[in-house]
């Protein structure tokens, strides 16, 4: 479709088609649409209406995309976002009604002109706040650039042109998104990888552009301070925002905005910033001085300068971009590139044609000749990224800046917190590995390198050490743990704190880390090297497994976090004398799903299944009886290998496809001769009865103090809401109209008994800010009081345990008591690590002060949701799994590997959850009564007809015949198996026998089964076809 093929409707014709609007002016036109200024009669307001061609309206795929995007944009309601009021179509032409902004674009107003730093930061912060609102509602812009930022006459920015916006996680595979120069590197390589951090990269480019007064494309060097003379602190903000690695950028718009806000508070003010001398050749101006009058941002620009000519052409380009349906019209990229080239040429011609006297004369400002300027120092992370390919290839001629020599190796601290798996993969991608400890001296030296924890987080550095099996610890390079003390705590991976203490932490925790490089270019701690050593050790009869290896019923299982094809994954597993994991039953599949979710693993990983002769089979001749396909289409998919996706299920793939990792399994034969901790069953810690009783007392005391803390926090949150409401109620109606939205958003962040400690993305009045400060300080005092009481209990506990250790009856008892002393060194870990005592044996189950949301909930559509203290959540009806977290007073439930999100708030009494899903639909849940164990009066755990507190059929059963699937009978009369649903009812009770009718689906398929008192763990009966059926109870 050419630029001339679309004939813009006349004002008169549009007035007939859309009688609710008075069309006042034609603004601009591109090949794919036209924009008009109109007056909405019903609300008496100016609007901008964009009309798109009939060819697009006739395309069903475009219409669906257009409707989805319009609805997503309409949900965004924020001062720094251009509002969308309505959409539809007339005579087959789609249209969208938007807020009319009486101003010009940021591109038009600041083209090739450096802006005063304070105003530049103010503008970018406002844009960041607008993006935060969009991201919070699940919308990513994907094309942030100055041409899509409109400025009001007061120089307030508004983000527009959400033509490329998609709900986060939506499709659009392979589509080039964004504008070169502003698009993040990951978008240019993989268009599907755009996320909120991609928007922040583009915003960082805008900040850099405003500070130096030059448009991209360019290398983002030298720092802005050396070009414009701005504060060097802004260099660090720009550098982080524009980092080529998404994980090393600001991770949210709120974080970016907070950094800018902190700089603004420290800045000396606009006058001081304006007085900062800039190098010659750069004009430092205020945007307001360039805004001119009140001409619309959509009106053609004047032609008196290169910037204005370019602004005119790019305004047309912006209309084209916003009008295009990206799924079907990639050819428009060519037209956009042509417009860009024309604009560049026009700008150059206009600039060259100016008289010499027209050019800026800043020669009075002192400026260093280019040849004499000092080359800016390269940051360690930029240096690391520049040398990535060389380091990965084993080249050690140049090492990253900031690296130091230690133990005959080179090391570098990476201050960006990551999970253990992510840090491992990052280090290997850069040719190194996490630091391997050789003794206590290493710990003393490294402790000085531990950076402070971000936002009050526990400070620490990941080490290249992990748990193997239940109690063993192994270094990534195969060396033994030689430090005096093993990691303390219940986690699986080692972290070094600033005091030189090594602690055990979970895989999902995030810490900075140390990369270590061998001088000879080798990497003895790579995943490939660890698997090779494992194979060699098994061949020698002395198995040694990689750190992080898990134990499951006599099997050892390891997630290898390196990209590989199915063929390569099989070769790696064989080299390790293992095989890709076999998931031949529901219990093992569910266990692995839970473990990978706790690792926070994303993506799908190779498992040991393949299709041969059109039949699926396991690699080790294990019968193919159990399956867990993500959906029915996977069964007959074209792929011949299988990936496992945590939270979703199995997916087919081709042999040469790549996955982010694979899962290796060693059977009992490979692990039986381990001769040590790997795979060994956990040995209970035997404690003196007095200490068992002491721990029960400590648990009770802590629970009481926590109950008081929760009550105090709830009262503080209630007082917070009351003070806000009182202030708001005293305002005039006009003032209330101004502040209503901001007050509502602030109160939303004060749910579940906690007040927000820091507020970004919301406009606060002076009084609102003081209320937030007062109540957050009071909240901190309440938390500190609880910690103080907990510390007293811990200290008294330690005194008693020390006394008991001096009187230990044997070495085993002494070691058990020593482990409790080590655990108590860290208060938070002690709170999590004290266990439940029973018969003198203490389990390693954690004692965490349970979050009030933990428990079973009756969800919408009669679904039962089990929320666990370990951060996982399971839908007991459809078996879907996920995770939950508390974010700014709201509980965020993330399902299916991040493909679905519910956000809810807990009622003050803790008995109800209400909120919305990611589509904006209202959802709710009610707490279910705690499930009572069947047959609790029977010492053998088997219920009888008389003693059972619940019906004896309630619970999980392993059905006879076929794949022996698990059927779960619930107290509410429902029953499920996989995705199947049904109901059950006890239809007769005769002596020691009960008869049940089980009805499946809407077709009324009925099974009739009988449970006898003498055999309560078994039932049998017949199905609708008269065939015999039976089941065995699954022990719990």
CATH architecture of 16-99: 2-Layer Sandwich (3.30)
Provide the CATH topology of domain 531-671.
Mannose-Binding Protein A; Chain A (3.10.100)
The pLDDT of residue 112 is above 80: no
Q: What is the mean pLDDT of residues 552-571?
A: 87
Give the per-residue pLDDT at 598.
Answer: 59
C-alpha span between 762 and 747 (Å, rounded): 11
Helix segments in 359-417, DSSP class H: 380-386, 388-392
The C-alpha torsion from 485 through 486 and 490 to 491, rounded to 10°, is: 130
* pLDDT tens by residue, 588-621: 888 888 777 656 556 789 999 998 888 889 987 7
Q: What is the mean pLDDT of residues 513-531?
A: 92
* Two tokens, residue 617: 């089979």
Q: Report the 10 Å Cβ neighbour count for 419.
A: 20
Domain 104-236+249-298 maps to which CATH number in 2.60.40.420, 1.10.510.10, 3.30.70.270, 3.90.650.10? Answer: 1.10.510.10
Q: What is the mean pLDDT of residues 794-817?
A: 81
Do 316 and 180 contact (CB within 8 A), yes or no?
no
| Higher-confidence position of 47 and 796 | 47
Q: What is the mean pLDDT of residues 450-459?
A: 67
Radius of gyration (C-alpha) of the chain in whole angstroms: 32
The pLDDT of residue 163 is above 80: no
Question: Is residue 143 among the annotated active site residues?
Answer: yes
Q: What is the mean pLDDT of residues 159-187?
A: 62
* Two tokens, residue 633: 């289409």
Do 639 and 657 contact (CB within 8 A), yes or no?
yes
Kind plus residue range of the DSSP H or E element containing 211? helix 196-212
* pLDDT tens by residue, 91-108: 989 999 999 988 888 888
C-alpha span between 817 and 691 (Å, rounded): 9
Report the range of poorest mean pLDDT among 60-69, 320-329, 425-434: 320-329
Report the range of poorest mean pLDDT among 266-280, 431-445, 969-983: 266-280
Q: Residue 754 half-sphere exposure, CB side, CA atoms within 13 Å?
A: 17
* Two tokens, residue 57: 């309206």
**Strand 284-285 vs strand 114-115: parallel, antiparallel, or unpaired?**
parallel
Taken as a whole, the chain contains a residue count of 1036
Q: Which residue has the tokens 């253990």?
A: 420
Please list, in sequence order, all residues whose beta carbon lies within 8 angstroms of the beta carbon of residue 180, skipping any fewer than 6 positions away: 188, 216, 217
Kind plus residue range of the DSSP H or E element containing 119? helix 117-136
* Two tokens, residue 348: 């150059």
Q: What is the CATH number of domain 855-927?
A: 2.40.128.270
- Work out the mean pLDDT of the chain and round it to a whole number: 75
Report the range of poorest mean pLDDT among 280-289, 720-729, 940-949: 940-949
**Percent of the chain surpassing pLDDT 90:** 16
Q: What is the mean pLDDT of residues 844-861?
A: 60
3-class DSSP state of 985: strand
Query: Where is mean pLDDT largest: 131-145, 361-375, 485-499, 960-974?
Result: 131-145
DSSP, res 437: -
The pLDDT of residue 339 is above 50: no
Do 744 and 715 contact (CB within 8 A), yes or no?
no
Give the per-residue pLDDT at 96.
Answer: 92
Tell me the β-bridge partners of 616.
611
What is the maximal distance between C-alpha atoms in the chain?
110
Do 201 and 241 contact (CB within 8 A), yes or no?
yes
Catalytic residue among 143, 199, 442, 902: 143
Q: What is the mean pLDDT of residues 21-39?
A: 85
Give the per-residue pLDDT at 707.
Answer: 83
* Two tokens, residue 685: 């810690």
The pLDDT of residue 29 is above 80: no
Kind plus residue range of the DSSP H or E element containing 1030? strand 1028-1033
Nearest alpha carbon to residue 573 among 643, 653, 663 = 663
Do 648 and 634 contact (CB within 8 A), yes or no?
no
User: How sure is the predictor about 529, in pLDDT bands with cuts at 50, 70 and 90?
Assistant: very high
* pLDDT tens by residue, 942-952: 334 333 457 88
Give the per-residue pLDDT at 314.
Answer: 32
Give the per-residue pLDDT at 897.
Answer: 76
Give the per-residue pLDDT at 570.
Answer: 92
- How is 493-552 classified by DSSP, letter by letter? EEEE-TTS-EEEE-TT--EEEEEEEETTS--TTSHHHHHHHHHHHHHTT-----TT-EEE
C-alpha span between 492 and 470 (Å, rounded): 9
In terms of Cβ atoms closer than 10 Å to its own Cβ (0-12, 13-18, 19+), residue 726 is: exposed
The pLDDT of residue 290 is above 60: no
In terms of Cβ atoms closer than 10 Å to its own Cβ (0-12, 13-18, 19+), residue 534 is: buried
**Strand 157-159 vs strand 149-151: parallel, antiparallel, or unpaired?**
antiparallel
Q: What is the mean pLDDT of residues 273-298?
A: 44
pTM of the entire predicted model: 0.39
The pLDDT of residue 311 is above 80: no
C-alpha span between 482 and 779 (Å, rounded): 43
| Higher-confidence position of 387 and 836 | 387
Do 581 and 664 contact (CB within 8 A), yes or no?
yes
User: How sure is the predictor about 993, in pLDDT bands with cuts at 50, 70 and 90?
Assistant: confident
Give the per-residue pLDDT at 825.
Answer: 76
Instruction: Give yes or no for a cis peptide into 307 (omega within 30° of 0).
Output: no
| Higher-confidence position of 1014 and 492 | 492
**Strand 922-927 vs strand 855-859: parallel, antiparallel, or unpaired?**
antiparallel
The pLDDT of residue 441 is above 90: no
Kind plus residue range of the DSSP H or E element containing 257? helix 253-266
Give the per-residue pLDDT at 123.
Answer: 94
Give the per-residue pLDDT at 5.
Answer: 64
In terms of Cβ atoms closer than 10 Å to its own Cβ (0-12, 13-18, 19+), residue 269 is: exposed
| Higher-confidence position of 580 and 634 | 580
Give the per-residue pLDDT at 77.
Answer: 84
Domain ranges for the chain, please list them.
16-99, 104-236+249-298, 381-519, 531-671, 685-842, 855-927, 955-1033
Fold matches, 855-927 and 955-1033: yes
Give the per-residue pLDDT at 319.
Answer: 35
DSSP, res 838: E
Separation of first and last alpha carbons in the chain: 66
Give the per-residue pLDDT at 21.
Answer: 95
Give the per-residue pLDDT at 322.
Answer: 33
* pLDDT tens by residue, 751-777: 667 888 777 667 888 888 889 888 888
User: How sure is the predictor about 412, in pLDDT bands with cuts at 50, 70 and 90?
Assistant: very high
Please list, in sequence order, all residues whose beta carbon lies within 8 angstroms of the beta carbon of residue 238, skipping any fewer than 6 positions away: 204, 207, 208, 211, 220, 223, 224
Give the per-residue pLDDT at 1036.
Answer: 55
* pLDDT tens by residue, 188-226: 767 666 788 999 999 999 999 999 888 775 555 677 877
Q: Report the 10 Å Cβ neighbour count for 929.
A: 8
The pLDDT of residue 410 is above 90: yes
* pLDDT tens by residue, 340-391: 444 444 444 444 443 333 333 333 333 334 444 455 668 888 889 889 889 9
Q: What is the mean pLDDT of residues 624-628?
A: 87
3-class DSSP state of 89: strand
User: How sure is the predictor about 498, in pLDDT bands with cuts at 50, 70 and 90?
Assistant: confident
Q: Report the 10 Å Cβ neighbour count for 799.
A: 10
In terms of Cβ atoms closer than 10 Å to its own Cβ (0-12, 13-18, 19+), residue 910 is: middle
Q: What is the CATH number of domain 955-1033?
A: 2.40.128
Give the per-residue pLDDT at 750.
Answer: 73
C-alpha span between 463 and 189 (Å, rounded): 32
Do 162 and 73 contact (CB within 8 A), yes or no?
yes
Give the per-residue pLDDT at 974.
Answer: 85
The domain covering 381-519 belongs, at the CATH homologous superfamily level, to Mannose-Binding Protein A, subunit A (3.10.100.10)
3-class DSSP state of 847: coil
Nearest alpha carbon to residue 593 among 650, 509, 654 = 650
User: How sure is the predictor about 15, in pLDDT bands with cuts at 50, 70 and 90?
Assistant: very high
The pLDDT of residue 239 is above 70: yes
**Strand 641-645 vs strand 605-612: parallel, antiparallel, or unpaired?**
antiparallel
């Amino acid at each position: 479709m050419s630029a001339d093929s679309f004939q813009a409707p006349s004002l008169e014709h549009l007035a007939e088609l859309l009688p609710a609007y008075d069309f006042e002016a034609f603004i601009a036109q591109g090949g794919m649409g036209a924009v008009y200024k109109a007056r909405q009669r019903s609300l008496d307001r100016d609007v901008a209406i964009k009309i798109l061609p009939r060819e697009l309206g006739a395309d069903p795929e475009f219409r669906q995309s257009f409707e989805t995007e319009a609805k997503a944009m309409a949900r965004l309601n924020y001062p720094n976002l251009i509002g969308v009021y309505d959409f539809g179509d007339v005579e087959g032409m789609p249209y969208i009604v938007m807020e009319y902004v009486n101003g010009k674009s940021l591109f038009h107003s600041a083209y090739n002109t450096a802006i005063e730093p304070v105003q530049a930061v103010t503008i970018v912060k406002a844009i960041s706040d607008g993006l935060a609102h969009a991201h919070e509602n699940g919308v990513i812009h994907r094309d942030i650039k100055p041409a899509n930022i409109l400025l009001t006459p007061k120089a307030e920015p508004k983000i527009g042109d959400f033509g490329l916006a998609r709900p986060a996680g939506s499709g659009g595979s392979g589509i080039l998104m964004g504008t070169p120069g502003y698009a993040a590197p990951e978008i240019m390589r993989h268009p599907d990888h755009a996320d909120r951090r991609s928007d922040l990269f583009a915003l960082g480019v805008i900040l850099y552009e405003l500070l130096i007064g030059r448009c991209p494309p360019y290398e983002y060097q030298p720092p802005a301070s050396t070009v414009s003379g701005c504060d060097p602190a802004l260099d660090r903000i720009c550098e982080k925002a524009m980092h080529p690695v998404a994980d090393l950028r600001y991770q949210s718009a709120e974080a970016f905005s907070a950094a800018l806000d902190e700089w603004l508070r420290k800045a000396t003010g606009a006058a001081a910033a304006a007085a900062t001398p800039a190098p010659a050749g750069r004009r430092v101006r205020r945007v307001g001085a360039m805004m001119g009058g009140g001409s619309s941002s959509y009106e053609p620009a004047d032609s008196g300068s290169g910037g204005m000519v370019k602004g005119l052409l790019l305004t047309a380009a912006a209309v084209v971009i916003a009008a295009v349906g990206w799924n079907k019209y990639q050819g428009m990229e060519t037209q956009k590139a042509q417009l860009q080239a024309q604009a560049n040429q026009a700008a150059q011609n206009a600039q060259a044609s100016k008289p010499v006297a027209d050019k800026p004369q800043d020669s009075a400002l002192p400026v260093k000749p280019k040849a004499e300027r000092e080359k800016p120092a390269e940051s360690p992370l930029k240096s690391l990224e520049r040398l990535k390919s060389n380091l990965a290839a084993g080249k050690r001629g140049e090492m990253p800046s900031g690296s130091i020599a230690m133990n005959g190796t080179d090391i570098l601290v990476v201050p960006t917190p990551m999970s253990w798996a992510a840090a491992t993969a990052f280090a290997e991608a850069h040719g190194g590995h996490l630091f391997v400890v050789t003794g206590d001296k290493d710990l003393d030296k490294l402790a000085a390198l531990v950076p402070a924890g971000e936002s009050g987080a526990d400070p620490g550095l990941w080490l290249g050490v992990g748990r193997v099996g239940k109690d063993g610890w192994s270094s990534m390079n195969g060396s033994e743990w030689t430090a005096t003390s093993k990691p303390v705590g219940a986690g699986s991976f080692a972290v070094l704190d600033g005091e030189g203490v090594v602690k055990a932490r979970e895989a999902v925790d995030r810490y900075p880390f140390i990369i270590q490089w061998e001088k000879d270019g080798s990497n003895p701690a790579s995943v490939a090297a660890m698997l090779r050593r494992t194979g060699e050790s098994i061949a020698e009869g002395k198995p040694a497994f990689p750190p992080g290896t898990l134990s499951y019923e006599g099997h050892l299982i390891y997630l290898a976090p390196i990209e590989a094809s199915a063929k390569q994954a099989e070769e790696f597993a064989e080299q390790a004398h293992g095989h890709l994991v076999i998931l031949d039953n529901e219990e093992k599949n569910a266990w692995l799903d839970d473990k990978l979710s706790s690792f926070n693993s994303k993506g799908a990983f190779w498992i040991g299944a393949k299709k041969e002769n059109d039949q699926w089979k396991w690699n080790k001749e294990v019968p193919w009886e159990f399956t867990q396909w993500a959906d029915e289409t996977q069964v007959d998919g074209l792929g011949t290998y299988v990936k496992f996706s945590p939270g979703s299920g199995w997916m087919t793939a081709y042999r040469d496809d790549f996955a982010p990792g694979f899962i290796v399994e060693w059977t009992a034969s490979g692990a039986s001769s381990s001769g040590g901790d790997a795979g060994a069953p956990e040995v209970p810690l035997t404690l003196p009865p007095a200490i068992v009783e002491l721990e029960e007392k400590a648990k009770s005391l802590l629970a009481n103090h926590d109950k008081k803390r929760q009550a105090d926090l709830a009262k503080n949150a209630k007082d917070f809401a009351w003070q806000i409401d009182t202030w708001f109620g005293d305002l005039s109606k006009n003032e209330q109209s101004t502040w209503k939205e901001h007050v509502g958003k602030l109160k939303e962040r004060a749910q579940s008994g906690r007040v927000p400690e820091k507020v970004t993305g919301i406009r606060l009045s002076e009084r609102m800010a003081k209320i937030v400060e007062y109540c957050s300080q009071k909240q901190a005092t309440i938390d500190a009081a609880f910690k103080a009481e907990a510390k007293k209990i811990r200290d008294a506990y330690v005194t008693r345990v020390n006394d008991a250790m001096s009187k230990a009856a044997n070495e085993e008892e002494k070691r058990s008591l020593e482990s409790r002393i080590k655990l108590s060194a860290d208060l938070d870990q002690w709170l999590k690590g004290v266990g439940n005592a029973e018969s003198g044996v203490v389990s390693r189950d954690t004692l965490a002060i349970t979050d009030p949301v933990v428990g079973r909930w009756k969800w919408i559509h009669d679904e039962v949701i089990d929320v666990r203290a370990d951060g996982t959540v399971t839908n007991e009806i459809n078996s879907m799994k996920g995770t939950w977290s508390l974010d700014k007073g709201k509980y965020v439930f993330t399902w299916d590997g991040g493909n679905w999100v519910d956000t809810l708030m807990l009622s003050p009494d803790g008995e109800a959850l209400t909120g919305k899903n990611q589509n904006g639909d209202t959802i709710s849940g009610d707490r279910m009564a705690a499930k009572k164990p069947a047959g609790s009066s029977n010492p053998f755990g088997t219920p009888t007809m008389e003693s059972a507190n619940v019906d004896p059929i309630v619970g999980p059963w392993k059905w006879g015949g076929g794949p022996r699937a698990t059927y779960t009978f619930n107290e509410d009369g429902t029953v499920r198996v996989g995705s199947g649903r049904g109901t059950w009812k006890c239809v007769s009770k005769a002596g020691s026998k009960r008869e049940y009718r089980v009805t499946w689906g809407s077709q009324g398929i009925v099974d009739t089964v009988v449970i006898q008192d003498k055999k309560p763990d078994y039932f049998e009966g017949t199905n609708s076809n008269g065939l015999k059926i039976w089941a065995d109870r699954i022990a719990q």
